[in-house]
Structure 1
């Protein structure tokens, strides 16, 4: 069994659930391959996670045995496909402690989920009958932060352009945290929506949202969290978070690409106008007009990603079987180990929190005098897979005065030996580039 060497000062708790990392790794076929003659070291899980056999088998079995369209047929295959699809929705609802299964809307990814809410605001703003909570115009404000992925920046920029509303944002501290010093001024009576990342995909920062949530409730605004980097790694409870919407994506949590989730409070989804029109999202259609289905069907026009949703359900089963608290603790120890290990590399600068408190298992860094693309190339030569660039979070790079960073990100299958391999490969970078 692979164990984690806990750095000095990191507490050890006997009651924390744990799992056998070697046994978990055996579930992921790709981890057994080589890259450039070296054992694969996959440290890019914030980009996309690898997939266990338990998920791959369900995906294949669905196409081999149960392939049919959903909510359209009474034949056996259609019924089986519908039951599996709706069963996956129920699994996702339980995974995030949603009060109702009908609050789970399947999308193709987090980006589409966020855009769905943004365009619902836009559609409500052009209708005299639009719910006032979703109507935006000049004088209204939307609040985000400098920490966001582009998918939680661009949709709101476009929404504000369409409606005349104003976009405002939280700034970042030098240590990679949200600067909440102006929270009462930023979130005010003009604020209609606050949309923030739960865990940063570039800084690793875990945003404690309690103070912001309290202020949002004071002014009567709505709150959305981008949980793309939290739902795969830590327990996410929408009731405990007291939010109105969350978005996350399957491919970062052991599921295939092409499937994501928008969760919204039932009464808010019911008040939102549809975004995409077509089959399956309607109640009745005449040539004079249409009425629309209740959520979640209202927001799932056309044939959905059926097999991908079923496989997402299998991924939820897999992660739940291991335990999200166990995964969270495993990554917390890995992060502490990695922060210490990277601290031994001369000329290396870490962006974001430099302690494993209030941060997740994503670490971005720069090496003095070496472009991140060169770092990534040398690491790949050694079999170490990391991401380089601005990670779809360019405002963060601008904030800290760098064009790009190198990012290592961990998951339930990551080991300390892989972190050691990365550090050894960084020494090779220093030799190559002096």
Structure 2
């Protein structure tokens, strides 16, 4: 049985008590943290790098999620919205797209009175530390305010202080490399213009880029499956369009097609891609380990090995759908305790190990599993999962509910962590912000 330290909230001083909680990121989990703080009357400031809420989700807004609305709305946020006259979207029919999530829920949430004035857009956080202390200094640390350095849209540098920091900045902008080694392939910088981020809008805004060209999608998860299906549909109306699905492992084990999957949209996606591969519409290459890339005429060549043999694959474009990882650069002066393998908080890592857990089998967890040696600092949402690809939005909402209760000294609520998740199936890191395709 794990013993939980019930010491209430972070250590405080007269000055600390006057400072806000600083939230990094105005995505679903960052806004949920804000809603929970607002309900408890705790001052806060949300720092969002984009010019609107949920800026990362807007980049893949064309993609349909797997979860129905009931799994996508944070309870505290719902209460604040409904008090302002908002009506939740109907839960029947198809799951919403990312853009639906923004338009029908997150954008209205960011505009309610309790949140709107406390969100700063165009505020990119570049460093988190303690005021006047690097990570090596201990004396008085827990009563010293946090200091966040940020850059604004005009390039100006500012610094803010706070009593606690909740980092909900996600992982979408830090994709994994194309190789299985964790390193960029040799020559990656020379072909950067031919490698596209996960989940491009191949049937909409990005159509012209892919029409009539051969695209190779690298990755074994749902974001890869979404993209190859879109390319197959594009090929029906654009002659010369081809899609290759390149998998580094022996199979796309993370793409579920199980009839037992409670997220029916996820199972349908897996079944659809299986059909297209069987029909020869999509070429699938498994067990291809990429080691180098270089230009080959107007396209590029992927070089590597396959079952012990040297191989090469020529293509016009590559879509990297290999998952995501947390950007920890801005946290160099914060005392973190991360698992050596998953890069998640050390108490959380065993609960989310992708070798043992799917999206629906992650155990309920809250402030205690998310704590670090830095009192008052929390990683939440997709970033808290490190490199594990099993995150669901409902998990992030319960995380921040527990964290905020702890910050408020409400230990009964902080330790009463409850979570009901859709069962079975598998998940991949898609698309890697707080709101994944398996959300």
What TM-score comes out, normalization by structure 2 length?
A: 0.29
What TM-score comes out, normalization by structure 1 length?
A: 0.30
Greater helix percent: which structure?
A: 1
